[in-house]
Structure 1
Amino acid sequence: MQLQNPLLAIFLRAMEASFDDTDLQVILLQRFGLRYSKLTNPIRPWSLQVINIHDYFDKRNETEHLVSALRDARPNVPEFAKVADGMGFAVISTGLEVLVQTGRTPYQDVDVFRAKLATIEAAICQVDIDGATGTGTLIGADLVITNRHVVAARIGTDGKLTGPATCRFDYKTNGEGYTTPATEVAAHLLLASSPHAPQDTVVGPMATDLAALDYAILKLDRKFADEPVVAGGNPRGRIEVAGAPTAGVDAGVLVIQHPGGKPMKIDFGSVTEVGPARFRHTVNTEPGSSGAPVFDAALRLVGIHHAGHTGGPGPALTYNEGIPLGAILTDAVAKGVAI
């Protein structure tokens, strides 16, 4: 995260007035393991040393770490608290508790979250093409979204399905190990789709091509979302897509999926990188998870998972990747699909 004026000017002035070089040498070494001489030359004018230290963190897009360290070292300097607040991680009291993400509603009501999760589960399905599986989501009365590569074996040269895709709902295991009977619904129509990008198959930068979003919208043979989950019960329902919320870097996300073809599972992680056509996240997935819905902490659909890579040691070379919901909806509407 980088600082812009006027916060940058406020921060530099406060840093210059509140510390000397000895103070900063101790903070940089103890907090970050950095030697002062790596960041600046102690014989330079003090104002220039301060700028050099800021620039070191700024170039690495890690200014928030420096702000946090200096705020902690000088909690009585209001300018540091003001800058932290402007960056979205303000201290909200003088006690021990901190609201670290001020840009969103920080808490969810347990009962509301539990009820919403139960509704979501009913709208998740396993997508089966002759034993090769992925995960899909009901986003309309009879519409399921998944990855295009999940159903690619069924797509003919004319862009239509050559045979049915099986959508298997309620395939999950309870706490005692009992697997509930699944309900299968066929889909014979492909309403819209977009291929994956060449970059998706190799480790490297995220794809940015909005014409390569790796999604497929299937039309079920009946309006399954309008049918009750159990006889006499409420309609199954669908996942709301209006508004197409986005998840920023560091936002918590969860993926409900059928990893390895197994009954429905859930895992949690966070967003690490965001682009116009892809975002990367740390949620665990396996083959069979492709097409699974990615939800934010408020259980709003923000995208669909589509791929992951392990290119070598270290977290930078191991990542999972999703497709932003907003990009998908824009493309689908342009292709004549009303959701």
Structure 2
Amino acid sequence: MTVQLSILDFQRLARIVQNLPDFGNVRDRRRLVAGALQGVAQADIILARLDLDGAPMGVSVEVVRFLAQFGRVAYDKEALAVFLNYIQPFTGDEDTDFIIELFRNYPLDVPVSPSRGIGNWKGVDSTSDIKEKIIGENTLRDIYILNLALEASKAVVRIATPDGLGTGFMIASDLLMTNNHVINSQEVGEKSDFSFNYQLDIKGKQCPTQTIGALAGGVFYTNEALDYTVVTLKEVPGFGKPLIFKSKLMRRDDRVAIIQHPGGHLKKISIQNNFVAYADNQVLQYTTTTEPGSSGSPVFDDDFQVVGIHHSGGMLLEPNTQQKYLRNAGTSAIALLSDLKNNTPEIYTRLQR
């Protein structure tokens, strides 16, 4: 199947691709396309057949034309859809809205979940702040944390809803947690797909993935203010152990890590040079790399226990101050556990704590 873009849509998309930060030369273009197709079985074929040499405008036209005509790749996605989901975080607001509109108007797939109105960010507080942290941090870690990370990653799930893509994680044998702005109702949950093991293996090849649905009429709970949802899945594969919550008040400069499906793509981890910037019993703010599609990811402490759920990023107001900083943010596990204990004890009693 190919994607037949209108002339105006084709021309605008070509201009967007031309203006991408990594489209100035052949080497960067190849890296960009290879990154978009990481884990796709046909990636080598596409890269071998795609001519990336020439002036940016001409090459952008060729890229859009070729990917639109290539057809489907992994998980019944169009090659063009995979590329668009990858570049969307690197475009401005108007171009992002245009890309999302393409997904609505053409049989592509679904775009990554939109942000909560706080700009996309891969962030730092300031150049001087982050340099001080990176240079001053002791980056030596005990090797066992790699085992903890790998074990925890088994419970992290890619979510495809009718409106977008996100991330979730298993908190019991059949219960998954994600953001309210990813799944805000039982109806949306029951129309969503949940993919386990969507990642690369030790040889850099895509792993076999199992995709299941939500259990119709299963336990469901959501809290818009805290931006989280719990949904029951059906026929859950053997994914490992549910993640463990830690009702722990984090402190400034504590390390955190996030395992996520950024942009709805293959599972990734952000583990280095990530620090808590602010924490109280409800709010976590931190310097950790994420992208749209990372919404609903677990925020881990050094023991890879869940201390929060990620929901957004951008210029955030630090509570109790008048200062705004470029940060990512989530809801603290303290608030999550308290809310579940008070409002859904049937879920609370099943959690690993």
- What TM-score range do you get, normalising by the shorter chain? 0.5 to 0.7
Pair 1:319 & 2:348 matched: no
- Aligned equivalent of 2:243: 239
Aligned partners of 1:279, 1:173: CA distance in 2, in Å? 30
Structure 1 residue 108 displacement after superposition: 5.9
The reply on whether 1:309 has 2:314 as its aligned counterpart is: yes
Match of 2:277 among 272, 275, 292: 272
Gaps of 5+ in 2: 1-135, 317-322
Cα pair 2:168 2:298 within 8 Å, conserved: yes
Q: In structure 2, the residue corresponding to 1:328 is in which secondary structure?
A: helix
CA distance in 2, matches of 1:180, 1:131: 25
Counterpart Cα distance in 2 of 1:131 and 1:265: 22
* Cα distance between partner residues in 1 of 2:142 and 2:326: 33
* Deviation of the 1:329 alpha carbon: 1.4
Quote the sequence identity (%). Answer: 28
Q: Does 2:313 align with 1:300? A: no
The equivalences for 1:40-79 within 5 A come to none
Contact 1:108 1:298 in 2 (8 A): no
- Highest RCO, 1 vs 2 (Cα 8 Å, sep ≥ 6): 2
- 1:190–1:216: 8 Å Cα contact kept in structure 2? no
TM-score by length of structure 2 reads 0.52
Q: Report the CA distance shift for 1:116/1:107 in structure 2 as closer, same or farther (over 3 A).
A: same
Determine the C-alpha separation between the residues in 1 that align with 2:177 and 2:203. 31
| 1:185 aligned partner, one-letter code | I
Q: CA RMSD in A?
A: 2.8
Query: Does residue 1:257 correspond to 2:260, yes or no?
Result: yes
Task: State the distance in 2 between where 1:134 and 1:302 align.
Answer: 19
Contact 1:245 1:301 in 2 (8 A): no
Q: Matches of residues 58-137 of structure 1 in structure 2 within 5 Å?
A: 109-110=142-143, 112-130=144-162, 132-137=164-169
- Cα deviation 1:95-121 (Å, max 9, x = unaligned): xxx9x99xxxx98642x3222222111
Equivalent of residue 193 in structure 1, options 222, 231, 246: 222
TM-score, reference length from structure 1: 0.55
Given that 1:161 and 1:190 are in contact with CA atoms closer than 8 Å, whether structure 2 keeps it comes out as no
Match of 1:200 in 2: none
Cα distance in structure 1, aligned partners of 2:188 and 2:228: 14
Tell me how many residue pairs correspond in the alignment: 203
1:228 paired with 2:247, answer no
Contact 2:281 2:334 in 1 (8 A): no
Q: Is the 8 A contact 2:251 2:276 kept in 1?
A: yes
Larger radius of gyration: 1
User: What residue identity is the alignment partner of 1:237?
Assistant: K
